Chains A and B, each alone.
Chain A
Amino acid sequence: MKKILKNQAVQSLLASLLCVLAGLLIGYIVLLFINPAGAWEAIVTVVKNFFYYPSKAAVVKYFGNTLVKTAPLLMCGLSVLFAYKVGLFNIGAAGQYVVGVAASLYLALALHMPWYVCLIAAMLAGALLGAISGLLKSYCNVNEVISCIMLNWISLYGTNLLLNNVKETASPYTFNLVNVNASALIPSMGLSKLFAGNRYVTIAIPIAVIVAILVWVILEKTKFGYELRATGNNKNAAKYCGMNEKRNIILTMMISGALAGLGAALLYLTGFEQWQCSQSSVPGMGFNGIAAAFLGGLNPIGTIFSSYFIQHITNGGAYVDKSMYCAQISDLISSIIIYLCGFVAFFKYFMNSAIDRREAKKAEKLARAETEEGGQK
């Protein structure tokens, strides 16, 4: 039992579960304050999400919708995670996601490119934005958090400006992908049949999962990944060992950016959403990615599950009784979860020291018993 508790992975899992439970509990308390009558029902609705529908076909279909939005979230989570492993906090996933939207939609709608070209363009756009933060960090010593935030806003306005060229005349939304260029839609390859004909379910979802596994392999099993992690743990030690720490920082930010950009393409090329060109705030996808990465214990495989969970409650928030509460209650819960993730290191330290103390006590008792026995003889 103690051995299990000392295992790093088990500790991370326990910590994440604790964060989720505490987040839901605090969310419930907030609901109680707003209106005690429907609070329990509302929190159950958030957790149930698509099980809200009575018919089985609808449940499966809306399960598909949740998965469609999980794919980009997973990519944003991976983007944050990858940078964090190298000691960088990529809060710019949001902006890299936005330029991913711009590149993929502009190529699809204005230049009529097929989907794989758009996908790669989105990755390149994200990588380019990431590279700017990386360059500023390594050559000009600019804190990556601040440069990323500035780039988030710049890319939001830039995207609005660019996509204004491909928007409907009557509404602020971009053209519908199905009507303008169906070849830019990511193929479904029969996956949609599994989800009661939900045509938004495409190979984007398996692609996201494969990328997650790839990220794990790169970080844990290759020399390149080892070098990156070494740079993250101690920049000076890595430099001393002959690793090029400046190159590593820039490369990391590029890869992170590419991941977030890919995420945007995986969502927008399904035709599930259109970009609103009058958008005045950076979409929350990139920020939720931070929640997904930390809740997943900073492990790519864990992030698959945590990003699903976050998307699950975000979608669930849409079903709460609007006469009493608003959908943002799930944003509140996920931000509380990120806040609590800050305590994970302390939690692990606390658990380890508690186990150590108990073991020390036992060893001491054993030793005392032995000496007493020795004295009697």
Chain B
Amino acid sequence: MLLLIQYTLIFASVLLLVALGGCFSEHSGVINIGLEGIMVMGALGGALVMKYMPAGSPAVVMIFATLIGAVLVGVFFSCLLAVACINFKADQTIVGTAMNLLGVAAATVIVKAINTAENPDNVSATIQYISQKKAFLLNIGSFEFNWFMVIAVLALIFAYVTLYKTKFGLRLMACGEHPQAADSVGINVYKMRWAGVLISGVLGGLGGICYILAGVSEWKFENGVAGFGFLALAVMIFGQWKPTRIALAALLFGMFRALSNVYTGFSFLTALNIPSTVYNMLPYIISLVVLAFTSKKSRAPKAEGIPYDKGSR
């Protein structure tokens, strides 16, 4: 049971971080399908920092350096979406999809290049960070506490306060609802959308490094993040683009994802004798069913997905 809670919390943290990223981007009016790619790149940034940090460095330094690495790479990668979709008015779906493919391909090429440069026989796409990873973990009894759970809660508070209690957040949401009106009162729509996408880069990058650290073994970069970026989008839709509801949705989805890791620990589940693949499918099936029931009365930002053109009316 403890194990289930532990895994639920860590997967929920991943989903919460990434879904909040998507939330910022969509409130500003840009659909961010590329979250998956941003996650992979953020994970790469964080993992590389962990690889090159000396193993003996204090935990605090290690945590902050890793986070900064993940955030920087995530933000840098999200610029690709911002440039194409805000300044060049490209189709947000194509660019987002390209970013997902690009993220996995680029990360694999970079990791393999580093590995082969160190040792020509090493063609794996993994980065060694097992000993460095311990900085993030804190054992309380048999419960393995992960600092990312705190980071996710902080991100939730940050998102709530920024979106609803600051001038910036309200302006950002105005750009996603009615950019022309926002522009007419002197808000720079392009700047606001850039801000939205870059914040999603920050949160997506954090979610990425959190995801690969949640696994027990080293992560193979060829595999990407197994659709987590899209699960996060489903969480966001289920949460109706509101941070607090997103948090609850993330917990629910996180639990189903966690079940596939720990179902063997429950005697009544093993007694059912369902193949493990079914548990792997579960989060995706649940999200489809949930989406089918919640999308009808969707409260999506009105202008999302439409490139803003100053000249149009």
A residues sitting closer than 8 Å to B (CB atoms) are 30, 34-35, 89, 91, 136, 140-143, 145-147, 149-154, 157-158, 160-161, 280-281, 287, 290-291, 294, 322-326, 328-329, 331-332, 334-336, 338-339, 341-343, 345-346
| Contact present for A150 and B287 (CB under 8 Å) | yes
Known: A150-B234, A322-B123. A338 touches B292 (CB 8 A): no
Task: Give complex CA distance A141, B298 in Å.
Answer: 9
| Contact present for B98 and A30 (CB under 8 Å) | no
Known: A154-B281, A294-B94, A345-B91. A281 touches B224 (CB 8 A): yes
Q: Of B109-117, B158-166, B180-188, which stretch is located at the interface?
A: B109-117
Which B residues lie within 8 Å of A323 (CB)?
Answer: 116, 120
Query: Which of chain B's residues has its CB closest to A342's CB?
Result: B90
The one of A143, A161, A339 in contact with B295, judged by C-beta atoms closer than 8 angstroms, is A143
Q: Of B3-11, B42-50, B100-108, B142-150, which stretch is located at the interface?
A: B100-108
Known: A150-B234, A157-B281. A346 touches B89 (CB 8 A): yes
Which A residues lie within 8 Å of B90 (CB)?
Answer: 342-343, 345-346
The one of B113, B223, B280 in contact with A157, judged by C-beta atoms closer than 8 angstroms, is B280
Q: Is B272 an interface residue (CB 8 A)?
A: no
| Contact present for B295 and A142 (CB under 8 Å) | yes
Q: Is B222 an interface residue (CB 8 A)?
A: yes
Which B residues lie within 8 Å of A280 (CB)?
Answer: 223, 226
Task: Give complex CA distance A152, B98 in Å.
Answer: 17
* 14 pairs from A and B in contact (CB 8 Å cutoff): A89-B97, A91-B97, A141-B296, A150-B227, A150-B234, A153-B281, A161-B277, A281-B226, A290-B97, A323-B120, A325-B109, A326-B108, A326-B109, A338-B102
Nearest chain B CB to A74's CB is how many angstroms away? 19
Which A residues lie within 8 Å of B281 (CB)?
Answer: 153-154, 157-158
Task: Give complex CA distance A325, B120 in Å.
Answer: 10
Known: A146-B237, A150-B234, A326-B113. A339 touches B226 (CB 8 A): no
Q: Is B275 an interface residue (CB 8 A)?
A: yes
Nearest chain B CB to A33's CB is how many angstroms away? 8
Closest 10 pairs (CB-CB, A-B) = A342-B90, A339-B98, A335-B101, A338-B98, A331-B105, A335-B102, A326-B112, A149-B230, A332-B105, A342-B95
Majority DSSP secondary structure for residues of A touching B: helix
A-B contact count (CB 8 A): 145
Task: Give complex CA distance A334, B90 in Å.
Answer: 18
| Contact present for A326 and B116 (CB under 8 Å) | yes
Which A residues lie within 8 Å of B268 (CB)?
Answer: none
Task: Give complex CA distance A218, B102 in Å.
Answer: 33
Known: A154-B284, A339-B95. A141 touches B295 (CB 8 A): yes
Q: Is B130 an interface residue (CB 8 A)?
A: no
Nearest chain B CB to A106's CB is how many angstroms away? 15
Query: Which of chain A's residues has its CB closest to B224's CB?
Result: A281
Task: Give complex CA distance A212, B230 in Å.
Answer: 31
Q: Is B61 an interface residue (CB 8 A)?
A: no
Nearest chain A CB to B112's CB is how many angstroms away? 4
Known: A324-B116, A335-B105. A147 touches B291 (CB 8 A): yes
Task: Please provide the chain B residues from 258 to 313 with a CB less than 8 Å away from any CB of chain A in the complex.
Answer: 275, 277-278, 280-281, 284-285, 287-288, 291-293, 295-296, 298
Query: Which of chain B's residues has its CB closest to A339's CB?
Result: B98
Nearest chain A CB to B184's CB is how many angstroms away? 25
Nearest chain B CB to A314's CB is how many angstroms away? 11
Known: A30-B109, A34-B109. A341 touches B94 (CB 8 A): yes
Nearest chain A CB to B68's CB is how many angstroms away? 22
Q: A150-B230, A339-B95 are known contacts; what are 15 more A-B pairs with Cβ within 8 Å?
A: A35-B117, A89-B97, A136-B292, A146-B230, A146-B233, A146-B234, A150-B284, A151-B284, A157-B280, A160-B277, A281-B222, A338-B97, A342-B85, A342-B90, A346-B89
Task: Please provide the chain B residues from 81 to 140 with a CB less than 8 Å away from any CB of chain A in the complex.
Answer: 84-85, 88-91, 93-95, 97-99, 101-102, 104-106, 108-109, 112-113, 116-117, 120, 123
| Contact present for B275 and A147 (CB under 8 Å) | no
Query: Which of chain A's residues has its CB closest to B275's CB?
Result: A161
The one of A151, A152, A328 in contact with B108, judged by C-beta atoms closer than 8 angstroms, is A328
